[in-house]
Every structure is written in structure tokens, then in C-alpha cells.
Amino acid sequence: MIIVGAKGFAKEILQIVSVDMGITDEHIVFFDNVSSDLPDKVYDRFQILKSFEALEQYKKQTADISFVLGLGNPKFREKLFNVFIERECQPVSVFSKHTDIGSFDVEIGEGTSVMSGSIITNSISIGKGCLINLNTTIGHDSTIGDFVEVSPNVNISGRCCVGKGSIIGTNAILLPGIHVGMNVVIGAGSVITKNVPDNCTVVGVPGRIISKD
């Protein structure tokens, strides 16, 4: 298993991959070809691949070329998701064992991570490459687009829709039936009471648009 990224959030993904999924140390590596201050290993145990050349060498040595995204920001996640697909690696969705996922009509796309304490009810569609962070609730009949980042403690009520590439800030609340467009940023603690168009930033209680891209 390749964890893409080797800092902050990647360490949280490691907990799921190692402890919850039971993947042994020798089958876990990190990839980071950007950071210049990294050691050779994470926690002195897990190898860091620091270039695409090192990645190709690793691929020759193992039958497992699956990967999971260990970084935030929808644009970065989508870019690296596509890079690893092009390099013939297989995206894997990971779920903390401390999650509650409905049993009926739930679809979760490849490469999505669902973190501890999250509750996903029934009739939910979540796209590929998403990050559903700690203690998030997603209500019935909601749709989450590709590469959406949902921060900790977010409450997405029933019948909501969040467009591709959007970021929902910590402790934000989407009231029932709200539609949020693509590439939207919703500020921490905001309460969204009206539909939000594409390409804007919304903050406050109730949420108001403060900028448009």
C-alpha cells in the first residue's frame, strides 16, 4: 500500500491502513517527492519513496501497487490521484473501523477516505477521491461529488448535494436539501441555509457569499 503524502494527514491514514486494515509494515510505504525535510522513514519504520523513479523501482518489487491519498486539498488530491492512475497504480478506499456506514443504497467511490467517528446513513452517493474527516455526519439521500473535502465535525443534513472539488470547513452545517456548487469553500462554523453557486466562498451564520472566483 502506497500512502501518497508523508506528513500530517498521511499519519492519520497510516492508523487506518496499519491498525484497522491490518496491513503489515513491510507492505506499507509513503510517497512524497516535494518535501525536502523528510527523513528516510516515517516513525523509523516505513520507507518514503522520494521520486517517481523510486516509485517505479518499488513497483517492480511488489505485487501490491494500490495507493491511498494521504493529503488534503481537493486540487492536490485530484492531481495526484490522476498521476498515480496514469502510473498504473490502483486507488483504494479506506474506512476507519470506528465509522457507521448505512447498509442500504450507499455508494462510495474509489480512493475515498472515511475517518473515525463518521456516520454515513442510507441512500448516499460519495464520489471518488473524497475525504470525509473525523466525526462527520452525512444524512439520507445526499450526494457528494468527486474530490470533496469534508472537514471534522461537519453535519450534512438529508437531501443535500455538494459539488466536485468543494471544501466544507470544520463544524459547518448544511441544512436539509441544500445544494452546494463545485469548487466552493464553506468556512468553519458556517450554517448554510440557502443553495450555493459554483466557485465561491461562503462564511457565517447564516452563510453568506464573500467572494466569487
Domain map (residue ranges) of the chain = 2-92, 95-200
Average pLDDT, the chain: 96
Task: List the Cα angle 141/80/93 in 5-degree steps.
Answer: 40
Burial letters 35-67, b for 16+ CB under 10 A, else e: eeeeeeebeeebbbbbeeeebeebbeeeebbbb
Q: pLDDT digit string (tens) for 116-136?
A: 999 999 999 999 999 999 999
pTM recorded for the entire structure: 0.94
Residue 112: its pLDDT value, please?
98
% of the chain exceeding 90 in pLDDT: 95
pLDDT confidence tier of residue 208, bands split at 50, 70 and 90? very high
**Residue 70 — pLDDT band, cuts 50, 70, 90?**
very high
**What's the pLDDT at 148?**
98
Secondary structure (3-state) at 91: strand
Q: Work out the pLDDT band at 213, boundaries 50, 70, 90.
A: confident
Question: In sequence order, what are the residues at sequence separation of 6 or more whose Cβ sits closer than 8 angstroms to the Cβ of residue 26?
Answer: none
What b/e sequence results for 126-144 when a residue is b if at least 16 CB atoms lie within 10 Å of its CB, and e otherwise?
A: bbbbbbbbbbbbbbbbbbb
User: What is the reported pLDDT for 150?
Assistant: 98
Q: Which tens digits make up the pLDDT trace of 137-157?
A: 999 999 999 999 999 999 999
Q: What is the pLDDT of residues 78-98, one digit of tens each?
A: 999 999 999 999 999 999 999
Which pLDDT value is given to residue 35?
A: 87
**What pLDDT is recorded for position 65?**
92
> What's domain 95-200's superfamily in CATH?
Hexapeptide repeat proteins (2.160.10.10)
Q: What are phi and psi of 43, to 5 degrees?
A: 55, 25
Backbone torsions φ then ψ of 196, nearest 5 degrees: -120, 125
Looking at domain 2-92, which CATH architecture does it have? 3-Layer(aba) Sandwich (3.40)
* Amino acid letter for position 86: E
Q: Evaluate whether 189 touches 171 at the Cβ level (below 8 Å).
A: yes
